């Protein structure tokens, strides 16, 4: 039963076979590089679109119960490590990319929440969410998806805790620390209101991330069918002990969300790249993208920004090597 869910519902193998059947009937040779690339592109775009719209709608419905004011009140009830854990968990039902998470981070910080708590939220929000769990399950399997989420949450909790212990709150920009926070009770939403909100969020989010999906799937199709396996293995395989570091550093200047990086990760894995190296690339793209860091710099001073980037980078690299060492247990 679980294999059926994994392969046919989440993986949509029936869709891949259907796309191949239609292309063959149209005279396309799906065994050629061009034909295989076209099949991969059409199949992955349709699959990710279906999963993405379904997930965004469901997650947005959950989000409607956690407006910023309520989230802030929930976080203020917890102290110490538990506050970081709850903050990281709240990040899993909030925006899909770090640029969307930063305004919420600024609001939480100006409301007086500890810097470590707000950074735990900022790390987990783009790196780990319910959508990433389901999409990772559709490609890498249940074990990898669950371990990825647990590790991502661990990085968020540990990273936020370290920044708090280092006394970094004084390096938040003054305009955020001095801004006044006004509590405004959100109106109670009806089921109809929540469904309408979910529909609007699904539409707006999909429009924003769809270009990255097209680019990600296009790169994935190129890697999958045109780049020799020997090249991928030599750069990102077990023969290169610096593959994790390279993948992390390459991912930093890029900007995409997890939905755009998963097709690339899928193709790299099929070509022999190590699992931990691939996941390190995904984490660095979603958490440390250059546009997000430029936006974050407006809210925090250089020393805090450098500390945040350093902690996340080191954590991602460590996680990458751990995943590489236990890959045989997960796949």
Tell me: the pLDDT tens digits for 33-86?
A: 899 999 989 998 898 888 878 877 887 888 788 777 777 777 888 888 898 998
Instruction: Answer whether 316's CB lies under 8 Å from 278's CB.
Output: no
Percent of the chain predicted with pLDDT > 70: 91
Burial classification of residue 226, based on how many CB atoms lie within 10 Å of its CB (0-12 exposed, 13-18 middle, 19 or more buried): exposed
Calculate the CA 102 to chain-centre distance.
15
CA distance 251 to 26: 38
CA distance 193 to 136: 30
Instruction: Answer whether 219's CB lies under 8 Å from 264's CB.
Output: yes
- Residue 316 tokens read as 């991602």
pLDDT of 253 = 65
The torsion defined by the Cα of 25, 26, 31 and 37, in degrees rounded to 10, comes to -130
Lowest mean pLDDT among 8-17, 213-222, 256-265: 256-265
Tell me the pLDDT of the chain averaged across its residues.
82
Tell me: the pLDDT tens digits for 170-227?
A: 888 887 777 655 454 556 788 898 899 889 888 887 887 788 788 888 888 888 778 8
Buried b or exposed e, range 127-144, using 16+ CB within 10 angstroms: bbbebbbbbbbbbbeeeb
Residue 172's SS3 state is: strand
pLDDT of 23 = 94
In the chain, the N- to C-terminal Cα span, in Å, equals 19
Instruction: Answer whether 313's CB lies under 8 Å from 248's CB.
Output: yes
CA distance 132 to 155: 16
Instruction: Answer whether 151's CB lies under 8 Å from 113's CB.
Output: no
Tell me: the pLDDT tens digits for 124-157?
A: 877 776 766 777 787 778 888 888 888 889 989 9
Q: How confident is the model at residue 254 (pLDDT cuts 50, 70, 90)?
A: low
CA distance 92 to 158: 16
pLDDT of 182 = 47
- Residue 19 tokens read as 């796309």
- Bigger pLDDT: 233 vs 23: 23
């Amino acid at each position: 039963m679980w294999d059926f869910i994994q392969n046919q519902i989440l993986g949509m193998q029936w869709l891949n076979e259907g796309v191949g059947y239609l292309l063959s009937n149209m005279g396309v040779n799906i065994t050629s590089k061009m034909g295989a690339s076209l099949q991969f592109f059409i199949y992955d775009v349709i699959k990710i679109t279906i999963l993405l719209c379904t997930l965004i709608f469901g997650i947005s419905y959950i989000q409607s119960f956690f407006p910023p004011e309520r989230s802030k009140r929930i976080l203020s009830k917890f102290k110490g490590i538990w506050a970081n854990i709850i903050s990281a968990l709240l990040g899993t039902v909030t925006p899909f990319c770090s640029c969307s998470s930063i305004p919420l981070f600024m609001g939480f910080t100006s409301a007086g929440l500890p810097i470590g708590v707000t950074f735990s939220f900022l790390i987990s929000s783009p790196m780990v969410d319910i959508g990433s769990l389901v999409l990772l399950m559709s490609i890498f399997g249940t074990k990898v998806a669950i371990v990825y989420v647990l590790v991502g949450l661990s990085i968020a909790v540990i990273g936020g805790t370290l920044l708090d212990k280092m006394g970094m709150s004084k390096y938040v920009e003054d305009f955020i620390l001095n801004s006044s926070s006004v509590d405004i009770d959100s109106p109670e939403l009806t089921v109809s209101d929540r469904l309408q909100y979910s529909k609007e969020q699904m539409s707006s989010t999909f429009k924003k991330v769809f270009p990255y999906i097209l680019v990600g799937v296009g790169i994935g199709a190129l890697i999958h069918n045109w780049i020799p396996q020997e090249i991928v293995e030599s750069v990102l395989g077990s023969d290169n002990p610096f593959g994790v570091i390279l993948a992390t550093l390459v991912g930093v200047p890029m900007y995409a969300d997890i939905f755009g990086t998963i097709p690339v990760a899928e193709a790299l894995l099929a070509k022999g790249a190590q699992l931990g190296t691939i996941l390190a690339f995904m984490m660095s793209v979603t958490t440390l993208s250059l546009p997000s860091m430029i936006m974050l710099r407006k809210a925090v001073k250089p020393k805090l920004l450098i500390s945040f980037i350093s902690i996340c980078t080191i954590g991602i690299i460590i996680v990458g090597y751990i995943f590489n060492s236990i890959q045989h247990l997960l796949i």
